[in-house]
Amino acid sequence: NAASKGTYEFYMLKEICEQPSVLRHLDQYYLDQNGDPKVDAKIINALSKADRLYIFAAGTSYHAGLIGKQLFEHLTKIPTEVGFASEAGYHFPMMSKHPFFIFLSQSGETADSRVVLQQAIKRGIPSLTLTNVPNSTLAREANYAMSLEAGPEIAVASTKAYTAQVAVQAIVAKALGEKIGIKDAADFELKKNFALAAEGIEQVISSQEKIERLAQKNIIPSRNAFYIGRGIDYPVALEAALKLKEVSYIQTEGFAAAELKHGTISLIEKGTPVIALINDSVTSDLMRGNIQEVIARGATVITIARKSLAKPADDIVLPEVNYYLSPLVSVVAAQLFAYYAAKDKGLDVDKPRNLAKSVTVE
C-alpha cells in the first residue's frame, strides 16, 4: 500500500527513500526507449508559441520552480520568471506579448495559486499545471495538466514531490527545446541523468548515519543555521533551509553564499552551523573562499560537494550528475539533515506544528 508507513518510523523518511523509484518511474512514464520525452504534443505546441514562461507556486513548489527557471532557460532559451502565487494574484506581474503560465503544486489545491490561475483564465493566458493530484482543481482548471507521478505524499514537509517537480520540468523543457530547435535540449541526456541521479540519491541515503551524526553534533545544539550555495545551489539552499526550519524549528536561512559578507555574516557566532553546497564548477573556488570567511567568524561548516569539486575533508561527497539536475541529489542530503534534526529532537517529523499539507485559504 503506497500510503502506508511500512517499516519506517515516519512518512518523511519513507518518502525521502522513495525518490530513486520516483525518478525511475518518471523515466518509464515520460521517456521513450531513446530517452526522448513523451509529452502530449498539444502541450509542447502551446508552449512553443510563448515568448516568456511564468512559473507560479508556493512553498517547496516555488523552490522547485526556481530550479525550473534555470532548466527552461538553459534548454529552451525562453526567458522564464518565477513568482510566489500569493503575490502575483494581487500584484499581477508585467506580461510579455505571448506569456505562458506554469503552475507547480503538489496538491493542486493551493488557494494562492488558484487565484493566479483565475487571472490567467480571465486574460486568456494559456496554462499548464504540474501536480501530484491529477484530478485536483489546478489540474482541472488549467488548459493543460501533467502528473508528477510521485505517489501519495503524506508527510507535511514535501520531499519526493519536489524532486518530481524538478524532473518533470526537465522533461517539459527538453521536449520544448527540441521542438524549437535548441541544441542544448538535443544534447541534454535525461535518461542517463535520471539514472545517475537515482543512484546518487541511493548513495546519499546510504550515508544517512553520517548525516544523523553531523545533525546531532553540529545542527541540533544550535538555535540557528545557514545553508549557502551559488548558481544552481542557491535555490537548493533555500529549499534546504525551509526543510530544516519547518521540521526542526531551528531557524535557518538559505543564502546566495557571497551575500553573507554583505550583511548577514554578522549573525555568525562560534558554533553556528553553516552548510555549504558545492555543485557549481564556475563558482566552486569562490565558495571555498566564502567558507573560509565564515570559519574565520567561528562557524562550524558542513560541506556537501560533488565528486569532481570535492576536497578530502568534505563531509558529504555527491556523485556526478548533470549540473542542472544536481538539485535532485543535493537536496536529499538536506532532507536527511532536516529529518534527523527533527527526529532526534523528539519532534513529530510528519506533522510540524502550525503547518498544513495543503493550504486552501489565501
Active site residue ranges: 357
Amino acid at 353: R
- The CB-of-158 to ligand G6P minimum distance in angstroms stands at 4
Three-state SS at 89: coil
Minimum CB distance to ligand G6P smaller for 101 or for 323: 101
Alpha helices per DSSP H over the chain = 11-17, 19-30, 41-48, 59-76, 85-88, 111-123, 137-141, 160-179, 183-187, 190-206, 208-214, 233-248, 284-296, 327-344
CB of 40 to ligand G6P, least distance (A): 22
| Contact footprint for ligand G6P (CB under 6 A) | 58-61, 105-107, 110, 113, 156, 158, 355-359
Q: Which is nearer to ligand G6P, 130 or 325 (CB)?
A: 130
Of 137, 135, 127, 131, the residue nearest 61 (C-alpha): 131
User: Which grid cell sits at 18?
Assistant: 522513495
Q: Of the two residues 302 and 331, which places its CB atom closer to ligand G6P in the complex?
A: 331
Summary count for the chain: helices (H), strands (E):
14, 10
Distance of closest approach, residue 105 Cβ to ligand G6P, in angstroms: 3
**Residue keyed to cell 560533488:** 306
Residue 157 φ then ψ, to 5°? -75, 120
Q: How far is the CB of 359 from ligand G6P (least distance, A)?
A: 5
Provide CB contacts within 8 A for 205, sequence distance 6+. Answer: 16, 17, 20, 332, 336
Sheet holding 300-306, edge to edge: 251-256, 224-229, 273-278, 300-306, 316-318
Q: 258 vs 359, which CB is nearer to ligand G6P?
A: 359
- 3-state SS class at 100: strand
The least CB distance from residue 272 to ligand G6P, in Å, is 26
And the C-alpha cell for 178? 527540441
The least CB distance from residue 298 to ligand G6P, in Å, is 33
